[in-house]
Chains A and B, each alone.
Chain A
Amino acid sequence: NAGVTQTPKFRVLKTGQSMTLLCAQDMNHEYMYWYRQDPGMGLRLIHYSVGEGTTAKGEVPDGYNVSRLKKQNFLLGLESAAPSQTSVYFCASSYDRLAKNIQYFGAGTRLSVL
């Protein structure tokens, strides 16, 4: 029962470097989400996907790209990292859009951009 798995757990980048965060879920969920969490800000939605091959922008999409080539995987990319992207990133998935949108979260990726 792995649920939602995020890799890596920690990463330090230099400004301008790129990286990809991987989210994998084994619950056959249709919907997947990427959030960032900053102190005192709660969770803010970056991008989300309502199915394989589809993605959409959330509240704070600038500087990030995503891909959902397989139903079980949702990738978050930073093409040119900036210090403002230092944050904790969470992936989540859910399966039922009709009034039961309970989300299941991964353990998070802590990213520092120097």
Chain B
Amino acid sequence: SQQGEEDPQALSIQEGENATMNCSYKTSINNLQWYRQNSGRGLVHLILIRSNEREKHSGRLRVTLDTSKKSSSLLITASRAADTASYFCATDRGSTLGRLYFGRGTQLTVWP
């Protein structure tokens, strides 16, 4: 069964605007990750946030984690057309076997 539920399912913005995607999950976790998938390609890891962290930055990406609400958000600042892709959150459900449980993703479209 799906672990993460991304919200919204689709997001359409103009270049230069910020894009915020949310993820909710149901179980305890060791960490939560965000991945990007360009059309017709495999997933690419973007950022990992551990359960004891509240916020993490990587370039134009900012991820927050609220374990009390079992939710995370991914913020992309100053979006570019090249950011157009699907974004997935994934959790480990506390497993140490390396398994990840992915949500259904948010399709982000950034218009020039």
Residues of B contacting A: mostly: loop
Q: Chain B: which residue is nearest A50 at the CB level?
A: B97
Taking the nearest CB of chain A, how far is it from the CB of B91, in angstroms?
10
Taking the nearest CB of chain B, how far is it from the CB of A76, in angstroms?
15
Chain A residues lying within 8 Å of B1, measured Cβ to Cβ, are 59
Is A42 in contact with B105, judged by CB distance below 8 angstroms? yes
Is A101 in contact with B45, judged by CB distance below 8 angstroms? no
Q: Chain A: which residue is nearest B2 at the CB level?
A: A42
Interface string of A38-58 (1 = CB under 8 A from B): 001111010010100000001
Is A106 in contact with B96, judged by CB distance below 8 angstroms? no
How many contacts between A and B, using CB within 8 angstroms?
64
Chain A residues lying within 8 Å of B98, measured Cβ to Cβ, are 31, 33, 48, 50, 94, 96-97, 101, 103
Is A107 in contact with B103, judged by CB distance below 8 angstroms? no
Residue tally, chain B, CB below 8 Å to A = 25
Residues 27-58 (chain B) with a chain A CB within 8 angstroms: 30-31, 33, 40-45, 48, 50
Residues 23-38 (chain A) with a chain B CB within 8 angstroms: 31, 33, 35
Is B96 in contact with A90, judged by CB distance below 8 angstroms? no
Interface residues, chain B, CB within 8 Å of chain A? 1-2, 30-31, 33, 40-45, 48, 50, 88, 92, 96-105
Interface residues, chain A, CB within 8 Å of chain B? 4, 31, 33, 35, 40-43, 45, 48, 50, 58-59, 90, 92, 94, 96-108
